[in-house]
Amino acid sequence: MSTLPDFNLETWFSRWEFAARYNLTASDAQSMRIDELLAMASPADREAFERLHMGYTPTYGAPALREAIAGTYEQRTADDILCFAGAEEGLYIAMRVLLEPGDHAIVVTPNYQSAETLPLTIGTATGVPLDPEDRWSLDIDRVAAAIRPNTRLVSINFPHNPTGKILERERFDALVALCRKHGLWLFSDEVYRPLGPSGTVFLPQAGDVYERGLSLGVMSKAYGLPGLRIGWIASADRGLLQRMERYKHYLSICNAGPSEQLALIALKARERILARNTAIIDANLATLDAFFARHADRFAWYRPDGGCVAYPRYLGADGVESFSAGLAERSGVLLLPASNYVSALGPTPPERFRIGFGRADGGEAIAALEAHLGG
pLDDT digits (tens, 9 = 90+) for 305-331: 999 999 999 999 999 999 999 999 999
Helix (H, G, I), strand (E, B), or coil: what is residue 74? coil
Contact 154, 140 (CB under 8 A): no
The pLDDT score that the predictor gives to residue 3 is 73
Closest CA to 189 of 168, 167, 171, 211: 167
User: Using one digit for the tens of pLDDT, what is the confidence trace for 216-231?
Assistant: 999 999 999 999 999 9
pLDDT band, residue 2 (cuts 50/70/90): low
- Which fold would CATH assign to domain 8-33+271-374? Aspartate Aminotransferase, domain 1 (3.90.1150)
Question: Could you say which of 3.60.15.10, 3.40.640.10, 1.10.3720.10, 3.40.50.300 is the CATH number of the domain covering 53-268?
Answer: 3.40.640.10
For CATH 3.90.1150.10, list the domain ranges present in the chain.
8-33+271-374
Give the pLDDT of residue 26.
Answer: 93
- Residue 53 scores a pLDDT above 70: yes
Give the mean model confidence (pLDDT) for residues 112-134. Answer: 95
| Sequence-ordered list of residues with C-beta below 8 angstroms from that of 113, at least 6 positions apart, any chain | 7, 8, 9, 340
What percent of the chain shows pLDDT beyond 70? 97
List, as one string, the DSSP characters of 265-321: HHHHTHHHHHHHHHHHHHHHHHHHHHHHHHTTTTEE----SSSSEE-PEE--TT-HH
Hey, CA dihedral for 97, 103, 104, 109, is it positive or negative? positive
Q: 357 pLDDT band (50/70/90 cuts)? A: very high
Is residue 289 predicted with pLDDT exceeding 70?
A: yes
pLDDT band at 4 (very low <50, low <70, confident <90, very high): confident
pLDDT of 35 > 70? The answer is yes
Instruction: Return d(Cα 333, Cα 26) in angstroms, integer.
Output: 11
15 vs 232: CA distance, rounded Å: 28
HSE-CB of 371 using CA atoms within 13 angstroms: 11
User: Using 50, 70 and 90 to split pLDDT, how confident is the model at 20?
Assistant: confident
pLDDT at residue 1 above 60? no
Given a cut of 90, whether residue 10 has pLDDT beyond it is: no
pLDDT > 90 fraction of the chain, expressed in percent and rounded: 93
Domain with CATH 3.40.640.10 in the chain: 53-268
Q: How many CA atoms lie within 13 A of 277 on its CB side?
A: 28
Residue 334: which of 26, 14, 24 has the closest Cα? 24
